[in-house]
Structure 1
Amino acid sequence: MAGPLTHLKVLDLSRILAGPWAGQVFADFGAEVIKVERPEKGDDTRHWGPPYLKDKHGQDTQEAAYYLCANRGKKSITVDITRPEGQQLIRELAAKCDVVLENYKVGGLKKYGLDYPALRQVNPKIIYCSITGFGQNGPYANRAGYDAMIQGMGGLMSLTGVPEGEPGAGPQKVGVAVADLMTGMYAVSAMLAAVIHRDRTGEGQHIDLALLDTQVAWLANQAQNYLTSGNVPQRQGTAHPNIVPYQAVPAADGYFMLAVGNDTQFQKFCAIAGLAEIAADPAYATNNARVQARQQLVPLIEQATRRQPAAWWLEQLSNAHVPCGPINDLAQVFADPQVEARGMVVEQPHPSAGHVRTVRNPACFSETPLEYTQAPPVLGEHTDSVLEGLLGKSAEEVNTLKVEGVV
Structure 2
Amino acid sequence: MTASPLSDVRVLDLSRILAGPYCTMVLADYGADVIKIEEPLTGDGTRAWGPPWIGDQSAYFLAANRNKRSVAVDLKRPEGRRIVHELAQRADVVIENFKVGGAEKLGVDYATLSALNPRLIYCSITGYGQTGPYKDRAGYDFIIQAEGGVMSITGPEEGEPYKVGVAIADITAGLFAATAILAALHERERSGKGQAIDVALLDAQIAWLANVAQNYLATGEPPQRYGNAHPSIVPYETFPTADGRIAVGIGSDAQFRKFCEAAGRPELAEDERFCTNRARVEHRRTLIPLLQALFRTRTSAEWLSLLAALGIPAGPINDVPAALNSPQVQARAMVQEVDHPTLGRIRLLGPVAKFSRTPAQIRRPPPPLGYHTDEVLRTLLDYSDDQIAALRRSGVIA
TM-score normalised over the length of structure 2: 0.98
1:159 aligns with 2:153: yes
Q: Deviations over 1:50-92 (max 9, x none)?
A: 11013xxxxxx1x110100100000000010000111111110
Counterpart AA for 2:36: K
From 161, 168, 173, the equivalent of 2:163 is 173
Aligned to 1:285: 275
- The runs of 5 or more residues in structure 2 that have no matched partner are none
Aligned to 2:100: 106
Distance 1:184 1:226 in 2: 26
Aligned to 2:74: 80
Deviation at 1:282, TM superposition (A): 2.1
1:92 aligns with 2:92: no
Deviation at 1:254, TM superposition (A): 1.3
From 193, 196, 199, the equivalent of 1:203 is 193
CA contact (8 A) 2:239 2:292 kept: yes
CA contact (8 A) 1:274 1:304 kept: no
Aligned to 1:58: none
Deviation at 1:272, TM superposition (A): 2.4
Distance 2:257 2:148 in 1: 37
Deviation at 1:336, TM superposition (A): 1.0
1:400 aligns with 2:385: no
Deviation at 1:311, TM superposition (A): 0.9
CA contact (8 A) 2:46 2:58 kept: yes
Counterpart AA for 1:70: A
CA contact (8 A) 1:349 1:373 kept: no
Deviation at 1:138, TM superposition (A): 1.1
Q: Deviations over 1:218-274 (max 9, x none)?
A: 100000000001000111000011100000111111110010111111111112222
Distance 1:356 1:131 in 2: 30
Distance 2:218 2:388 in 1: 60
CA contact (8 A) 1:179 1:214 kept: yes
Distance 1:284 1:371 in 2: 48
Q: Deviations over 1:190-212 (max 9, x none)?
A: 00000001111111000011111
- The runs of 5 or more residues in structure 1 that have no matched partner are 55-60
Task: Report the 3-state secondary structure (helix = DSSP H, G, I; strand = E; otherwise coil) of the residue aligned with 2:357.
Answer: coil
TM-score normalised over the length of structure 1: 0.96
1:45 aligns with 2:35: no
Task: Map residues 13-162 of structure 1 onto 2, 5 A cutoff.
Answer: 13-54=14-55, 61=56, 63-162=57-156
Distance 1:362 1:259 in 2: 24
Task: Report the 3-state secondary structure (helix = DSSP H, G, I; strand = E; otherwise coil) of the residue aligned with 1:129.
Answer: strand
Distance 2:11 2:147 in 1: 31
Task: Report the 3-state secondary structure (helix = DSSP H, G, I; strand = E; otherwise coil) of the residue aligned with 2:305.
Answer: helix
Q: Is the deviation greater in 334-343 or in 208-217?
A: 334-343
Task: Map residues 284-363 of structure 1 onto 2, 5 A cutoff.
Answer: 284-363=274-353
Deviation at 1:344, TM superposition (A): 1.2
Deviation at 1:370, TM superposition (A): 2.2
Counterpart AA for 2:20: G
Distance 1:371 1:223 in 2: 36
Counterpart AA for 1:272: A
Q: Deviations over 1:279-336 (max 9, x none)?
A: 1122211111111111111111111001111111001111111110000001111221
Aligned to 2:4: 3
Aligned to 2:238: 248
Task: Report the 3-state secondary structure (helix = DSSP H, G, I; strand = E; otherwise coil) of the residue aligned with 1:393.
Answer: coil
Distance 2:223 2:172 in 1: 21
CA contact (8 A) 2:91 2:120 kept: yes
CA contact (8 A) 1:116 1:206 kept: yes
Counterpart AA for 1:144: A
Aligned to 1:385: 375
CA contact (8 A) 2:153 2:225 kept: yes
Aligned CA RMSD, in angstroms, stands at: 1.0
Task: Report the 3-state secondary structure (helix = DSSP H, G, I; strand = E; otherwise coil) of the residue aligned with 2:102.
Answer: coil
The percentage of counterpart residues that share the same residue type is 53
Deviation at 1:365, TM superposition (A): 0.2
Distance 2:324 2:104 in 1: 44
Count of residues paired in the alignment:
396
Distance 2:275 2:180 in 1: 43
CA contact (8 A) 1:12 1:100 kept: yes
Distance 2:190 2:281 in 1: 49
Aligned to 1:186: 176
Task: Report the 3-state secondary structure (helix = DSSP H, G, I; strand = E; otherwise coil) of the residue aligned with 1:39.
Answer: coil
CA contact (8 A) 2:94 2:123 kept: yes
Distance 2:145 2:169 in 1: 7
Counterpart AA for 1:5: L
Deviation at 1:383, TM superposition (A): 0.2
Off by >2 Å, runs of 4+ in structure 1: none
